[in-house]
Amino acid sequence: MEQNKFTGTGVAVVTPFKSDLSIDFDAFGKILRNLIDNQINYIVVLGTTGEAVTLTKNEKKELIHFADNCINKEVPLVVGMGGNNTAEIIENYTTFSFENVGAVLSVTPYYNKPNQNGLYEHFRIVAEKSPVPVILYNVPGRTGVNMTADTTLRIANEFPGKVIAIKEASGNIEQISKICKYKPVNFTVISGDDGLAVPSISIGAQGIISVVANAFPGPFSRMINSALEGKFGLAQFLHLSFLELYSALFEEGSPAGIKAVLTSMGLCENYLRHPLTPVSNALFDKLKLLSEKIS
């Protein structure tokens, strides 16, 4: 899979649940169809936004299979395949089907807080054993460890064609800038923060893996495409139209915020698996009001 297939707008898609907390595949299909019809560039399943850590292995297999059939190669499919047990990730490579998977998104190990050499060794093994290209995922706010620009660049340079991109969600523009400046030519920098997507593109990032675009794929894709085309006036206008929504979505945790918005749009029901819970009524109303202002 060519790395440029992971430029533009990727969407970390939610996993809808029914009232009994089983997966709502009808709603999942509806959400996927809405994303594809509104010109997003690729789909990411089993990410943080998809509540992957609460899913069983069989449920993960079912979601990959369903997404593959629903997408039907119209856009690339990326599968979240990370964790804090390196050996378990490698074992998963042998139990999941990657027939039509374009890449895996692999988050830095969480909780056990490896040092930079530990991160390098983890991703060395992940890259060497992966049946498809790997997109690194650095999100220190969730994992408790930041992968530095130097470590990212070391991995990118040592595993060309195997490690093809990074989803950078450190929120550190200086760190993102350093990766953009010194990265190999075929290595893609992807923003992991909706609110930093346009600023990141202005310094060399090539797109976003988005939460907001679950609900607003059309206007969000226009914003990203405008920035990539150098039309920063329009990109700025669209970015500022999302400004209040960016922060409101995370006021009581994610994906609770985006699920509330999707519920208000009639795309899924407002259920999450514990330990997550739905947003408060006050925030639900606030998100609904902010959403109605987006066009």
Residue 283 corresponds to which tokens in the numbers above? 């925030």
Active-site residue, selected from the candidate residues 120, 137, 246, 271 = 137
Residue 76 corresponds to which tokens in the numbers above? 């690339």
Within 8 A by CB and 6+ apart from 185, the residues are none
Active-site residue, selected from the candidate residues 60, 167, 259, 286 = 167
Longest dimension (CA), the chain: 49
Cβ atoms within 10 Å of 53's Cβ, excluding its own:
12
Contact (Cβ atoms closer than 8 angstroms) between residue 279 and residue 256? yes
Partners of residue 77 on adjacent β-strands: 43
Is 110 labeled as catalytic in the residue annotation?
no
CA distance 57 to 20: 19
CA distance 191 to 239: 14
Is 61 labeled as catalytic in the residue annotation?
no
Residues taking part in catalysis: 137, 167
